[in-house]
Structure 1
Amino acid sequence: MKMKVASSLLIAFAALALPASAHCGKCAKDKDKSAEAAHSEGAEPGEHAPGFTLTDLAGNEHKLADYAGKVVVLEWVNYGCPFVKKHYGSGNMPKLQETYTGKDVVWFAVASGNTAKGFTTADAEKNGSKASAILLDPTGETGKAYDAKTTPHMIVIDKDGHVAYNGAIDSNSSSDPADIASSENYVASALDAVLAGKKVETAKTKPYGCSVKY
């Protein structure tokens, strides 16, 4: 009789343990998926920024990996675009570049696709660029890796190599320079947060401007 009771108890405990084991197995899988997402490469906030090797206007090669430990800004540019003119003609973009490169931020303006062809140092100087360098991406490979759709399209990469911000430069999608003063500058806010070791409150917005010509 005692043997039968003991056997029944063992079977009951085993039945209870099975769902727990299955649940733990699911937890492990969920953790694996979360870890995989955290280490995935892409342009979404929190993802590892896609690596690239591009040449600047002076013929110097730049690898994103060489700037590990630095905050990096990627700014897709086309000086002929009215929305880019809004920020360069007003001095807004050069001022941002100068302010944050002065805080040890690396700021790359990127010319992708057709825009990269015929792009000159004179163009950059005429528009008052204060970027760390202007990178040429004639194949569009880097632009596509970041899903850059417009000029300007802004990406902020933190010191750990993760995308901290992806989107528009500010909150007003007009091409009128007069609207800059009343706009929220998303890039400045993101950079201030990243440099202070804080969370970026607005990590993704819809970029506006002229389409990147791949």
Structure 2
Amino acid sequence: MKKVVLRALAVLAVLLLVVSLPAAALERGDQAPEFTLKNLDGREVSLSDYRGRIVLLKLATTWCPTCKQQTDDILRAADLLVEHDVVVLEVFVQDSERMVRRYLRGKTFPMTFEALMDNGQAHRAYNVYLIPRMLVLDREHRVFHDGGQLFEEDLRRLVGEVAALKPAP
């Protein structure tokens, strides 16, 4: 019995350590790694396709409850995202197309939105170890924010700050 309790405590300690690790892997000002992934229609979409526009990059899975909450927060901030012509790229790192279609069923995105299927490229480039992972990229696709879940208020604040930045000449 003691061995079971000790193993359970060891697993709990490891989980707490992983959860407490800082979420950011990229520093503010770093250039976001480029990727080209297929959307649900099979069309290739690259991050660079949206150069000149603010990008919310969400790295997620369909089975993550916090990822679903993040989608809800994004939709609640849709008015601001539309106002600032923000693009939402949601990269599904471990899911099948069928799972993603089911996950998105019934959702309407008033802003530019792409659901992208990761082939491992984004997972490697962004060293994904936390989901959801939310990145806010400026118009030159430099990292403005890299971390975990963003609640609606934080999302609105960060997008407002990025939108206020003057584009590079």
2:55 and 2:69 map into 1 onto residues whose CA distance is: 23
Residues 1:47 and 1:116: Cα distance change in structure 2 (over 3 Å)? farther
1:99 and 1:59 map into 2 onto residues whose CA distance is: 29
Q: Which residue of 2 aligns with 1:133?
A: 114
Q: Map of 1:20-39 to 2, 5 A cutoff?
A: none
2:108 and 2:129 map into 1 onto residues whose CA distance is: 21
Deviation at 1:95, TM superposition (A): 2.0
2:50 and 2:70 map into 1 onto residues whose CA distance is: 26
User: So what's the TM-score if we normalise by structure 2?
Assistant: 0.70
Task: Give the AA of the match of 1:66.
Answer: D
Structure 1, unaligned runs of 5 or more = 1-41, 171-179, 199-214
1:188 and 1:93 map into 2 onto residues whose CA distance is: 9
Q: Which has the larger radius of gyration?
A: 1
1:72 and 1:87 map into 2 onto residues whose CA distance is: 15
Q: Map of 1:1-214 to 2, 5 A cutoff?
A: 43-88=26-71, 91-97=72-78, 99-112=80-93, 114-116=94-96, 118-126=98-106, 128=107, 130=109, 132-138=113-119, 140-170=120-150, 185-197=153-165
2:124 and 2:76 map into 1 onto residues whose CA distance is: 27
Residues 1:185 and 1:149: Cα distance change in structure 2 (over 3 Å)? farther
Give aligned-pair identity as a percent. Answer: 27
2:27 and 2:63 map into 1 onto residues whose CA distance is: 28
Task: Give the AA of the match of 2:159.
Answer: L
Contact 1:116 1:137 in 2 (8 A): no
SS in 2 for 1:45: coil
Deviation at 1:52, TM superposition (A): 0.7
Indicate the structure whose relative CO is greater, using CA pairs within 8 Å and at least 6 residues apart. Answer: 2
2:135 and 2:46 map into 1 onto residues whose CA distance is: 16
Q: Which residue of 2 aligns with 1:30?
A: none
Deviation at 1:157, TM superposition (A): 1.0
Residues 1:97 and 1:61: Cα distance change in structure 2 (over 3 Å)? farther
Task: Give the CA RMSD over aligned residues.
Answer: 2.4
